[in-house]
Amino acid sequence: MSSTSQKHRNFVAEPMGDKPVTELAGIGDVLGKRLKEDGFDQAYVVLGQFLLLKKDEENFTEWLKDTTSANKKQAKDCYTCLHDWCQAFL
């Protein structure tokens, strides 16, 4: 996991609880605000969408780009963060 950000490592290191959406790797204040406006205010709500999309990278990253105007890197970082968290906790 050495190529991941500190934000990613921090997120994956512990249970999700009630972390805000901006704790997800790839999601900063601007994208976080857009997600919140669409009802995705907590990281676990985004996780729910991730699971509804069957953890599929292409579907999730396209959904995130469509929902927030995230770029490819931001969407991939968020996908990888949720995927790695699932590997550790599900």
At position 13, the amino acid (one-letter code) is A
The two three-digit tokens of residue 9, written as one number:
């490592």
Question: How much is the mean pLDDT over the chain?
Answer: 95
For 16, other C-beta atoms within 10 Å of its C-beta total 17
- The share of the chain scoring above pLDDT 70, in percent, equals 98
Task: Provide the whole-model pTM.
Answer: 0.94
Task: Kindly tell me if the per-residue pLDDT of 4 is higher than 90.
Answer: no
The arithmetic mean of pLDDT across residues 60-64, rounded, is 98
Q: What percent of the chain has pLDDT over 90?
A: 96
Q: What single-letter amino acid sits at 52?
A: L
The CATH number of 6-89 is: 1.10.150.40
